[in-house]
Amino acid sequence: MCRTPAFLAVSMLLAACDTAGRGYMGLPPVRAEAGGHVFDIRQRGDAAEAVRRNAAWLPPFDEVARAAEAAIERVTGCDATEVRGDPSLLRADLDCPE
């Protein structure tokens, strides 16, 4: 049985897991940990993206969102006014000091 195509497909999917979302490509990530989760944070203007990097089996969205909010605020120095997305990729609107 040939498993190479399946292995390549899974490898390609896993390699894309840390890729920045649309609008954040080309921005270098800042790694941050909060609430037992590890995130790559990218900021563009008054918005930020958090890509969760650690493995977790079906983590509750509220738990991950609180951790992402804390990580985003620590990295950006701004208040996260709204956090949305899913447990793997979260986006936040920011209120930054002038």
Strand 47-52 relative to strand 79-85, pairing: unpaired
- Averages of pLDDT over each 10 residues, the chain, 98 residues: 56 54 88 98 97 96 98 98 97 95
- Residue 3, pLDDT score: 65
- Residue 14, pLDDT score: 45
* 3-class secondary structure per residue, the chain: CCCHHHHHHHHHHHHHHHCCCCCCCCCCCEEEEECCEEEEEEEECCEEEEEECCCCCCCCHHHHHHHHHHHHHHHHCCEEEEEEECCCEEEEEEECCC
- Residue 23, pLDDT score: 80
- Residue 22, pLDDT score: 74
